[in-house]
A and B are shown apart, each in its own frame.
Chain A
Amino acid sequence: MAAWSPLEWPVLRQVLTGDRTGRGAAVQSARTRQIESRNATADRVVQSVCPFCAVGCGQKVYVKDDKVVQIEGDPDSPISRGRLCPKGSSSEQLVNNPLRQTKIRYRAPHATEWTDLDRDTAIDMIADRFLAARRHGWQDHDEHGRPLRRTMGIASLGGATLDNEENYLIKKLFTAAGAIQIENQARI
């Protein structure tokens, strides 16, 4: 460790460096001078949009070694001009939160705990149940013999946090299957 020099005395540094308010050079230590921003060392920056509210603030996603290391406001955006609110600023935590689920979990009827499933099995099980529920809830006609061609066995809720392309495929698939009870947050 280097010997301490009286010149490093903060008040003196504040005067000497002209950093009167003590928010710049005067408060830097050797260590802080060595710290490099995650943004500077990122491999690439990807432009994105905040996933919380409908203002639609621009985001820059910093990626290193195929991992998101930071998400910040995009100064290019005419909507947000680089700003993000507490939610938007926290969005890196949506990606890297240790509490986040990355495994499929399955709860069998009457079970008290979750178990694991591989993705193939899970989607197969859901496809089977989808077709069975569709069949059980199927209605060809109403009481006057007018066509209904629908199923009341399947419902869905969600979409306001999803992409347009996702909502489009969801609505398209469910409608073709005859499922009509499709809703999202816009109703609420």
Chain B
Amino acid sequence: MANADCIILMGGNMAEAHPVGFQWVSEALAKGAKMIHVDPRFTRTSAVATKHVSIRAGSDVVFLGGLINHMISNELYFHDYVVAFTNAATLVSEDFRDTEDLGGLFSGFDPETGKYDPSTWAYADPAGGTVTGPSGEEHGASASARAAGHEYGSGGPPLEHASVLRDETLQHPRTVFQVLKRHFSRYTPEMVRDMCGISIDDFEYVARTIAESSGRERTTCFGYATGWTQHTLGAQFIRTAAVLQLLMGNVGRPGSGIMALRGHASIQGSTDIPTLFNLLPGYLPMPSVGRHDSYREYVDSIGSKQQKGYWAYAETYVVNLLKAWWGEAATAENDWAYDYLPRLSGAHGTYQTTADMRDGKVEGYFVLGQNPAVGSANGRQQRLAMAQLKWLVVRDLNMIESATWWKDGPEIESGELRTEDIATEVFFMPAATHVEKAGSFTQTQRMLQWRHQAVQPPGQAQSELDFFHELGVRIRARLAGSTDPRDRPLLDLTWDYPPDAHGNPDPEAVLAEINGYVVDDRAPLSAYTEMKADGTTAGGCWIYTGVYADGRNQAARRVPQGGGGVTQSEWGWVWPADRRILYNRASADRDGKPWSERKAYMSWDDAQGRWVGPDNVDFPVDKHPHARPDPSLGGAEGLAGDDPFVMQADGKGWLYTPKGLVDGPLPAHYEAAESPVRNALYAQQQAPARVLLARSDNMEAPSAGEPGADVYPYVFTTYRLTEHHTAGGMSRWSPYLAELQPEMFCEVSPELAAERGLVNGGWATIVSPRAAIEARVLVTDRIRSLTINGREVQQVGLPYHWGVGSDAVVTGDAANDLLGVMMDPNTQIQESKVASCDVIAGRRPRGADLQRLVASYQQRAGTTPETGTRAVTDPEKEGF
């Protein structure tokens, strides 16, 4: 970021949520870069920005789409980069129909399932027909349920092969470029003004600044946080930025890219090595019934050997994982024990699981360093669900609300639950802090950093590593001698880790297994390219191979400032292969020369016959830039010298996604699931493929145009403060932090305060179709009322760190109780950055009156579980 000429921060508040990371933005500013903050609120990020642009929450695709349109219509995009390195020139299937042709939907929508059949979005095949996935097309209903979008955490979706039709003049009407141009033509500055509340002047300023800060000599970088992800079209928010960045040549170069500013110490790590239902380590999918019944079906669907790049070797990564887990029991004859893996049969995300829990289908629940009673959307549903469990294990440092809801939760106070009636057994297990155990975190730029252990955990506290290892040992002991085939995966599991001085498993030994090794002599692998698919190597997470190269813990490297070089490469270890900038072959032009001296990074050295520069090149190191191998060779051999996107099946950056997204090959703006604003772009109001959980404990507010919408007339959004951390489990118990931010509050504009009689420092009650909470009022012009489609729209800002309990230093009502669960179909992530509410002056009712208030609003609005669940707004316009 420090090397960028322009930084656009959207969907986040970096100065307050990532304060120390923000020093690199400050550094860029000091070097003369510009920084623009586009956000509903004026925050401390805005205060030091070159410019703050106030935007209506949830309208980001309109704004970014407007920028795309501007760059294309005024020919401001980076032509040479776009032609060479993106799929702009690639031809799309004749059968594809855009939102322009239909009433706002893409071709292939299936009203039956509410999801798309994406087969018409494919590339045209030179041999006729389309380029499908390696095992045909997967219907969106299936891909969405297994949150398949998550699999692209380390590379793009698979294609059956990489032979495509290209027109590098970009003139053919079916080139991606022409499709893109037409698709975004309605995203005009006037549309941005009407839908986002951004003036034409401000829009033009941003467009000019990005255009001036992109191209050969300059680069622009984007940073985002959950203000982009937590929407029913969150993945498409990020896609819109990616399209813009590719058009402007801002990927794979110094000071370019899109930075995900993630919120937890190792949230990146817990996606790479996923404690997630839909993934196995290294972004391999969890097998799904009907789709992955056999080993062959499974490996063929992940990557085709005829596609380009490193996903062509997916089978190798699978074999190494299975071999690492099941050792000698994994053989070529039994398909490496593939059948030991359990199968998915739909969505099993945290919210579907909560609903199942509430319905009594889940017996036991482990809650590990997370506080769903406060931190998950629709907190009441979460707590009522936990009350249906047989047993609950909470492992934390502090006595969080998720461990105590049975005695001091909001439902106890309201009388909905009675402690004596709750049959749930609760185990609270004290955890070890970060200094009481050794291990690695993966931070937001994919860097693994090792923490050394400073002291032993106190009392009965224990690390997750020690607890789960011990639990595994005891479970296996209980099953010893079992002849039941279902117990084989547990009994054959490799579970012997050498003990440390205290008898606990050595975390470095676990890291060494993750890294991978030669089976015969346990020699550590240095790179994932050393992995074999014949069972002679094993490794738990292929993208992490190299972190234990040479038998040294590379994540523990701590040369001050990372050593002398610009990449600071002697500090920690970055996946994959310790590359600091991904896709860095794109930092040089088609001929392998730097785009400019100013932005030089990696380049081709003819004399040495290899790529050189300060980083590890993200490309076959000796492949000449003019190499044009037969694409059907597949894998690294199939990559041309100008295919920098080595994890994409065709080697190109995707402006258009022929495969992989379940809600459209291009981003299109739809309103949030709950919105008081009508979609002016299309007849279609909401994201058609969004995932709903229609239940009486998860009601939705009517949207604009529906009766009752005016009962919840305001838009609310949720966010973090510097002084607290997520649901407060690590911060509301800290006397220092609790003193700095003691009380839950809401931010409202002076206009809203006047409308509702709210007084600064007084109380307000915020009501949604799920809950009512109270908060102190902060009247401020940091949050502005916006003119949308000629109408004033008021926004309410709510930090979400407080919860109701009795153990923390500070408690308060939880903003997340207000949220409903409506999700992005690619990722199954809930929409928490925009929803509808009402605000009234004064404190909320106590006892049973609280639910009465919520119910009276529901009645007035006429909400039922069906409200807001229609997929297609106007079936006639879509031709259904």
Q: Which residues of A contact B (CB under 8 A)?
A: 44, 46-58, 61, 63, 66-68, 71, 75-81, 83-91, 93-95, 97, 99-110, 112-114, 117-119, 122-133, 136-138, 140, 142, 144, 146-173, 175-188
Please tell me if B281 contacts chain A, counting CB pairs below 8 Å.
yes
Please tell me if B268 contacts chain A, counting CB pairs below 8 Å.
yes
Using CB atoms, name the residue of chain A closest to B437: A163
Once bound together, how far apart are the Cα atoms of A156 and B422, in whole Å? Answer: 20
B459: chain A residues at CB < 8 Å are 102-103
B457: chain A residues at CB < 8 Å are 102
B723 touches A87 (CB 8 A): yes
Q: 8 A-B pairs, CB-CB below 8 angstroms?
A: A85-B19, A107-B406, A107-B427, A123-B470, A123-B471, A149-B342, A180-B286, A185-B267
Among B87-95, B248-256, B447-455, which stretch is in contact with chain A? Answer: B447-455
B363 touches A136 (CB 8 A): yes
Please tell me if B789 contacts chain A, counting CB pairs below 8 Å.
no
A160 touches B267 (CB 8 A): yes
Given contacts A101-B398, A162-B369, A164-B266, contact A155 B353 (CB under 8 A): yes
18 further A-B contacts with Cβ under 8 Å, apart from A48-B452, A110-B422, A126-B427, are: A47-B558, A86-B740, A90-B734, A90-B736, A104-B430, A107-B426, A107-B427, A109-B422, A110-B419, A127-B474, A153-B362, A156-B367, A163-B465, A169-B510, A181-B353, A186-B271, A188-B350, A188-B376
A114 CB, nearest partner CB in chain B, Å: 7
Among B137-145, B388-396, B527-535, which stretch is in contact with chain A? Answer: B388-396
Using CB atoms, name the residue of chain A closest to B351: A187
Please tell me if B742 contacts chain A, counting CB pairs below 8 Å.
no
Please tell me if B205 contacts chain A, counting CB pairs below 8 Å.
no
A164 touches B441 (CB 8 A): yes
Once bound together, how far apart are the Cα atoms of A63 and B456, in whole Å? Answer: 11
Using CB atoms, name the residue of chain A closest to B260: A54
A183 touches B275 (CB 8 A): yes
A183 touches B444 (CB 8 A): no
B270 touches A169 (CB 8 A): no
Contact pick for A171, options B267, B273, B469, CB 8 Å: B273
A110: chain B residues at CB < 8 Å are 419-423
Using CB atoms, name the residue of chain B closest to A136: B363
Using CB atoms, name the residue of chain A closest to B737: A90
Task: Name the 9 nearest CB pairs between A and B, nearest first.
Answer: A56-B443, A158-B368, A163-B439, A102-B459, A159-B275, A150-B342, A160-B264, A133-B363, A159-B270
B265 touches A158 (CB 8 A): no
B754: chain A residues at CB < 8 Å are none
Using CB atoms, name the residue of chain B closest to A65: B455
A170 touches B452 (CB 8 A): no
Please tell me if B583 contacts chain A, counting CB pairs below 8 Å.
no
A175 touches B507 (CB 8 A): no
Please tell me if B397 contacts chain A, counting CB pairs below 8 Å.
yes
Given contacts A76-B561, A187-B828, contact A165 B342 (CB under 8 A): no
B453 touches A173 (CB 8 A): no
Among B52-60, B311-319, B486-494, which stretch is in contact with chain A? Answer: B486-494
Please tell me if B186 contacts chain A, counting CB pairs below 8 Å.
no
> What sequence of 0s and 1s flags, for each residue 594-610 of chain B, a beta carbon within 8 Å of any chain A beta carbon?
00000000000000000
Please tell me if B293 contacts chain A, counting CB pairs below 8 Å.
yes
B809 CB, nearest partner CB in chain A, Å: 7
Given contacts A100-B397, A164-B441, A164-B514, contact A68 B474 (CB under 8 A): no
B722 touches A160 (CB 8 A): no
B558 touches A94 (CB 8 A): no
A148 touches B343 (CB 8 A): yes
Once bound together, how far apart are the Cα atoms of A147 and B341, in whole Å? Answer: 10
Contact pick for B263, options A54, A56, A106, A159, CB 8 Å: A54
Once bound together, how far apart are the Cα atoms of A63 and B455, in whole Å? Answer: 8
B734 touches A106 (CB 8 A): no
Once bound together, how far apart are the Cα atoms of A127 and B474, in whole Å? Answer: 7
Once bound together, how far apart are the Cα atoms of A55 and B417, in whole Å? Answer: 40
Contact pick for B427, options A83, A106, A165, CB 8 Å: A106
> What sequence of 0s and 1s flags, for each residue 507-523 of chain B, a beta carbon within 8 Å of any chain A beta carbon?
10011011000000000
A187 touches B827 (CB 8 A): yes
Please tell me if B190 contacts chain A, counting CB pairs below 8 Å.
no
A112 touches B736 (CB 8 A): no
Once bound together, how far apart are the Cα atoms of A156 and B760, in whole Å? Answer: 42
Contact pick for B277, options A53, A79, A83, A180, CB 8 Å: A180
Once bound together, how far apart are the Cα atoms of A167 and B442, in whole Å? Answer: 12
A166 touches B420 (CB 8 A): no
B289: chain A residues at CB < 8 Å are 142, 146-148
Please tell me if B622 contacts chain A, counting CB pairs below 8 Å.
no
A48 touches B451 (CB 8 A): yes
Among B110-118, B170-178, B724-732, B769-777, which stretch is in contact with chain A? Answer: B724-732
Once bound together, how far apart are the Cα atoms of A79 and B449, in whole Å? Answer: 11
Query: Within residues 334 to 390 of chain B, which ones have a CB less than 8 A from any CB in chain A?
Result: 339-345, 348-350, 353, 356-357, 361-370, 372, 375-377, 390
A90: chain B residues at CB < 8 Å are 731, 734, 736-737
Once bound together, how far apart are the Cα atoms of A162 and B431, in whole Å? Answer: 10
A149 touches B435 (CB 8 A): no
B724: chain A residues at CB < 8 Å are 87
Please tell me if B762 contacts chain A, counting CB pairs below 8 Å.
no
B561 touches A78 (CB 8 A): yes
A105 CB, nearest partner CB in chain B, Å: 4
Once bound together, how far apart are the Cα atoms of A154 and B392, in whole Å? Answer: 10
Please tell me if B76 contacts chain A, counting CB pairs below 8 Å.
no
Please tell me if B424 contacts chain A, counting CB pairs below 8 Å.
yes
Please tell me if B807 contacts chain A, counting CB pairs below 8 Å.
yes
Using CB atoms, name the residue of chain A closest to B544: A164
Given contacts A90-B737, A93-B734, A122-B429, contact A66 B514 (CB under 8 A): no
Most A Cβ at <10 Å: residue of B289, B377, B398, B489: B289
A107 CB, nearest partner CB in chain B, Å: 4
Once bound together, how far apart are the Cα atoms of A125 and B269, in whole Å? Answer: 30
Once bound together, how far apart are the Cα atoms of A110 and B419, in whole Å? Answer: 6
Contact pick for B345, options A57, A99, A148, CB 8 Å: A148
B277 touches A181 (CB 8 A): yes
A113: chain B residues at CB < 8 Å are 407
Given contacts A48-B434, A167-B275, contact A104 B486 (CB under 8 A): no
Using CB atoms, name the residue of chain A closest to B491: A176
Please tell me if B436 contacts chain A, counting CB pairs below 8 Å.
yes
A158 touches B275 (CB 8 A): yes
Once bound together, how far apart are the Cα atoms of A103 and B722, in whole Å? Answer: 30
A94: chain B residues at CB < 8 Å are 397, 433-434, 730, 734
A176 touches B340 (CB 8 A): yes
Once bound together, how far apart are the Cα atoms of A133 and B434, in whole Å? Answer: 31
B281 touches A171 (CB 8 A): yes
A87 touches B731 (CB 8 A): yes
Please tell me if B859 contacts chain A, counting CB pairs below 8 Å.
no
B112 CB, nearest partner CB in chain A, Å: 19
Please tell me if B99 contacts chain A, counting CB pairs below 8 Å.
no
B829 touches A187 (CB 8 A): yes
Please tell me if B733 contacts chain A, counting CB pairs below 8 Å.
yes
B263 touches A157 (CB 8 A): no
A86 touches B736 (CB 8 A): yes
A184: chain B residues at CB < 8 Å are 267, 270, 274-276, 370
Once bound together, how far apart are the Cα atoms of A169 and B786, in whole Å? Answer: 49
B832: chain A residues at CB < 8 Å are 188
Once bound together, how far apart are the Cα atoms of A160 and B422, in whole Å? Answer: 30
Using CB atoms, name the residue of chain A closest to B342: A150
A157 CB, nearest partner CB in chain B, Å: 5
B268: chain A residues at CB < 8 Å are 54
Once bound together, how far apart are the Cα atoms of A162 and B367, in whole Å? Answer: 12
B396 touches A101 (CB 8 A): yes
B214 CB, nearest partner CB in chain A, Å: 26
Most A Cβ at <10 Å: residue of B479, B541, B730, B731: B730
A148: chain B residues at CB < 8 Å are 289, 342-343, 345
A118 CB, nearest partner CB in chain B, Å: 8
B81 CB, nearest partner CB in chain A, Å: 29
B455 touches A68 (CB 8 A): yes
A36 CB, nearest partner CB in chain B, Å: 21
A95: chain B residues at CB < 8 Å are 433, 435-436, 455
